[in-house]
Amino acid sequence: MAIDAPTRPRSDPPASLRPAPLPRGLGTVLVTGACGRLGKRVVRLLHRERPVVGVDRRPFPDKPKDVRHEQVDIRRKKLKDIFRSEPIEAVIHLGVMHDPRASQAEHHSWNVAGFQKLLEYVAKFDVPKLVVLSSSNVYGPQPDNAQFLNEDAPLLGGARFGEIRDLIEVDMLAQGFFWKHPGTETVILRPVHILGRVHNAASNFLRLPTIPTLLGFDPMIQVINEADVVRAMRCALAPGKRGIYNVAGPDPLPLSHAIRILRRPSLPVPYTLGKAVLKRLWSFRLTTFPAPELDHIRYVCMVDDRRAREELGYKPEVAIDDTVKSVDDA
Amino acid sequence: MAPLARRLFDSAASNVDDWMTSKLGEEFNARLGRVPLNLTATGVDPFGMDPQWTKYALASVALLHRHYFRTEVSGAENIPSSRVLLIANHSGQIPMDAALIGASLFMDVEPPRFMRAMVEKWTQTLPFVSLLFSRVGQVVGVPENAKHLLTNEEALLVFPEGIRGISKPFSKRYQLADFGLGFMRLAIETRTPIVPVAVVGGEEQYVSLGNFDGLAKLLRAPNIPILPQLLLPFGALPLPTRYRIHFGEPMRFGGDPDDDDAVIEEKVFLVKATIQSMLNRGLKTRKSIFF
């Protein structure tokens, strides 16, 4: 569904308070979560083209020289000073915490309260562009999923797996913001499983020396290289783009083919046994995979990325073999 | 160890291939080469259909088609070579009718097609079954999937009677149950011709006296039929009735796919009446159930 919000003439901020803004498409980009593996890639790609401000509560020791890094927690007031200090043309929000071991309260406060603060400033300072990195996991793997879910599909990812509810809430908040603030071009990207040097569940899973699978299940999966995700974000920064976009990598493939590309042994386990063992391992803190995530290697959760290709002009460039193999990149 | 196992596996596969060719004729392999496919870089189609799996599945069904049920096919020339919606009566407790329609689409229709069908959602929760279905091109029964397949010019089989049709007791044989309306909306929206299909012979393969509703609910299965023949030796096999599959002339419908149920129902009724009269004609001309 193409969401076309009415455009409203933007009220320019008083010129005396702010330096003259750079032409549209070349202004400063603020990146939250800049010190994550994905954040660093985004910063490195963008700083060659336009000014970049990184925001993260972690330090950024090997940052490019021309990048300004602010070590702040996005829940703190200090974030406002960054918006005040220079005109920000775009905000890329990557700072979503997805640490399965952190407490629910900490997750919620960081992901939801932090994002609300960020939205508040985006509205207050009339930032023309907001790009939010959500995930295709918000749809959730279900036995009755359509093979290719489009952007209108309900976000059922939290039905079995509570830890993803934050991510769904962030996605919903961004959607609400999209409608309430037509002056800001909001883009929500929902990429499929991101592979590469990132430490997310999908990459960690494929990095296991022996990859467990579920006996009698071999769902089709979609994966995308981190470089392609970054490319999609750059497409989303182009003036005039707004809306929700599923972002997929090269052609889908069965899970078993991905394991074959990696030349790793796999171990098929019956579902009930796998679930019981994983629960036990989880309670002893021996694994980073919570048991409900098993549904990802049981049912299909694939997306239709036609809109991103047609409207954003995005196209994956990393071939499927290289995308899968990229989990082993040092 | 692994190379040895691989060689054993490869030689077994080539033996099976040879045996298949001897039973089904060279024509089978020639047909395989002519099926229009839509594969991705990894050798499967976007829905997970793998031509290698499909080949063996089709070969085993083709054997049943030719030698066990000795299917008589008529009206094969009515199938267009582009997108088509096959609407058939559903019968026989196990979906043998779907398998045999699939086999005739591959063995008797020109150009040969890999038929796609929609399967119940709960089959996706079953290990091996979900895997097999997906590799041989059967997809989850949701409208989006059907639309996607038809826009890819595939041949899609739909049983509008659904579970009500396949679980009919023997006393209700060849009486069409209520049709769902979804297929008509789909056909109108995607401008797909409908080919009505009448399958005669399926109702007698298992003689069902009724259904265990309570047990089915307990096991979360759609239905469990009462089949006295299961007590006989080899009774689990369907009886070797002779199947007769007739493809009718394509029907085209226009209008608004989002029309009121009443309007859509009229069009569905036309299809239902066509299939019922095809069934009646088939039953009248049939001399014997088994020959």
pLDDT of residue A23: 76
Nearest to B127 among A149, A271, A320 (CB): A271
Cβ neighbours of residue B107 closer than 8 Å, sequence gap 6 or more: B28, B31, B62, B65, B66
Mind telling me how many Å the CA of B49 is from chain A's nearest CA?
A: 10
CB contacts, 8 Å: B41 with chain A: 250-251, 319-320
pLDDT of residue A1: 44
pLDDT of residue A203: 93
In total, the C-beta contacts within 8 angstroms joining chain A to chain B are 74
How many angstroms separate the CA atoms of A297 and A299, rounded?
6
Q: Give per-residue pLDDT as tens, B91-138.
A: 988 889 999 999 999 999 988 999 999 888 888 999 999 999 999 999
Q: Is residue B3 part of a domain?
A: no
Contact criterion met (CB < 8 Å) for B47 and A270: no
Q: Is residue B5 part of a domain?
A: no
Q: Give per-residue pLDDT as tens, B238-272.
A: 999 999 999 999 999 999 999 999 999 999 999 99
How many angstroms separate the CA atoms of A57 and A73, rounded?
5
Is A297 in contact with A213 (CB distance < 8 Å)?
yes
Best to test chain A binding among B123, B124, B156 (most A CBs inside 10 Å)? B124
Q: Does A7 have pLDDT greater than 70?
A: no
CB contacts, 8 Å: B130 with chain A: 143, 216-217
Contact criterion met (CB < 8 Å) for B124 and A299: yes
State yes or no: cis peptide before B111, omega within 30 of 0. Answer: yes
Is A320 in contact with A167 (CB distance < 8 Å)?
no
Q: Does B233 have pLDDT greater than 60?
A: yes
Contact criterion met (CB < 8 Å) for B124 and A319: no
Q: What is the CATH topology of the domain spanning A28-196+223-251+302-320?
A: Rossmann fold (3.40.50)
CB contacts, 8 Å: A144 with chain B: 121, 124, 140, 142
Q: Give per-residue pLDDT as tens, A47-75.
A: 999 999 999 999 998 889 899 999 999 88
pLDDT of residue B179: 93
Classified as helix, coil or strand, B271 is helix
CA B222 to chain centre: 18
Q: Does B10 have pLDDT greater than 90?
A: no
Q: Is residue B12 part of a domain?
A: no
How many angstroms separate the CA atoms of A220 and A142, rounded?
13
Q: Does A15 have pLDDT greater than 50?
A: no
CB contacts, 8 Å: B117 with chain A: none
What's the domain range around B144? 35-285
Minimum CA–CA partner of A272 in chain B: B127
CATH number of domain containing B152: 3.40.1130.10
Is B116 in contact with B155 (CB distance < 8 Å)?
yes
Q: How confident is the model at residue B15 (pLDDT cuts 50, 70, 90)?
A: confident
Dihedral angle over CA of A282, A286, A289, A295, nearest 10: -60
Does B167 touch chain A if contact means CB atoms closer than 8 Å? no
pLDDT of residue A21: 61
- Out of A204-208, A252-256, B17-21, B253-257, pick the least confident: B17-21
Q: How confident is the model at residue B226 (pLDDT cuts 50, 70, 90)?
A: confident
For helices B51-63 and B26-34, the axis angle rounded to 10 degrees is 140
Both tokens of residue B80? Answer: 């267009």
Average pLDDT estimate for B140-149: 92
Mind telling me how many Å the CA of A290 is from chain B's nearest CA?
A: 20
Looking at B61-187, which runs of residues are DSSP E strands? 72-74, 84-88, 116-119, 138-140, 155-158
Contact criterion met (CB < 8 Å) for B41 and A319: yes
**Pick the residue with more confidence: A12 or A259?**
A259
Q: What is the torsional sign of CA B247, B248, B250, B252?
A: negative
pLDDT of residue A191: 96
CA distances from A275 to A215, A268, A294, A298, B190 (A): 12, 13, 7, 12, 42
Q: How many domains does chain B have?
A: 1
Range 16-55 of B in CB contact (< 8 A) with A: 40-44, 46-48, 50
Contact criterion met (CB < 8 Å) for B121 and A319: no
| Dihedral pair phi/psi, residue B245, rounded to 5° | -110, 120
How many angstroms separate the CA atoms of A278 and A296, rounded?
14
pLDDT of residue B21: 77
CA distances from B228 to A49, A161, B167, B176 (A): 77, 44, 15, 23
How many angstroms separate the CA atoms of A165 and A87, rounded?
33
The closest of A149, A229, A171 to A197, measured between CA atoms, is A229
Cβ neighbours of residue A272 closer than 8 Å, sequence gap 6 or more: none
Q: Is residue B246 part of a domain?
A: yes
Both tokens of residue A176? Answer: 């609400």
pLDDT of residue A254: 95
| Dihedral pair phi/psi, residue B152, rounded to 5° | -85, 15
Number of H helices, E strands in chain A: 11, 13
Would you kindly state where each structural domain of chain A is located, as residue ranges?
Answer: 28-196+223-251+302-320
| Dihedral pair phi/psi, residue A316, rounded to 5° | -65, 140
Q: Does A212 have pLDDT greater than 90?
A: yes
Best to test chain B binding among A251, A261, A272 (most B CBs inside 10 Å)? A251
Q: Is residue B20 part of a domain?
A: no
pLDDT of residue B2: 62
Is A43 in contact with A67 (CB distance < 8 Å)?
yes
How many angstroms separate the CA atoms of B271 and A101, rounded?
58
CA distances from B230 to B91, B207, B220, B222, B239 (A): 18, 10, 22, 19, 11
pLDDT over 70 percentage in chain A: 92
Nearest to B42 among A149, A150, A320 (CB): A320
pLDDT of residue A8: 47
- β-bridge partners, B117: B138, B157
